[in-house]
């Protein structure tokens, strides 16, 4: 049962354009959402997060939007740069029972072409 879904395994954009990475979730108990970026042969690194009480969080070129009613979030990167080429993971966290666990999506490979 995939509680966090990233339905696009890959995305290719031109340098300078906007990259939009999408994520859907099914568990209404999720309270906090995070995006991680991963380069080959490295561990994932934290990028940006958003609490369920907000609908937008911005950090430089990165903005995350949350639509709670649709259980959907997206990461916008603008302008995209070749160094942004990586796998992006959406992750979610919820306070439920005794389990504290980040649930990850399967990732989207972003390629930014010069």
DSSP letter for 102, please.
Answer: P
Q: Is 93 in the site for another protein (CB under 8 A)?
A: yes
Give the x-and-dash track for 38-77 against another protein (CB under 8 A).
x--xxxxxx--x-x--------------------------
Task: From 14-22, 58-66, 69-77, 103-111, give the range in contact with another protein by CB under 8 A.
Answer: 103-111
Phi, psi of 82 (to 5 degrees): -55, -30
Q: Is 32 in the site for another protein (CB under 8 A)?
A: yes
Can residue 31 be called a binding residue for another protein (CB under 8 A)?
yes
């Amino acid at each position: 049962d995939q509680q966090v879904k990233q339905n696009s395994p890959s995305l290719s954009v031109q340098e300078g354009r906007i990259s939009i990475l999408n994520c859907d979730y099914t568990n209404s108990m999720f309270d906090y959402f995070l995006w991680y970026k991963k380069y080959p042969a490295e561990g994932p690194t934290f990028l940006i997060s958003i609490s369920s009480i907000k609908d937008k969080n911005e950090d430089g070129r990165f903005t995350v939007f949350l639509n709670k009613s649709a259980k959907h979030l997206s990461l916008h990167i603008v302008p995209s740069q070749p160094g942004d080429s990586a796998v992006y993971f959406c992750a979610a966290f919820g306070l439920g029972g005794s389990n504290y666990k980040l649930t990850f999506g399967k990732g989207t490979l972003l390629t930014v072409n010069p």
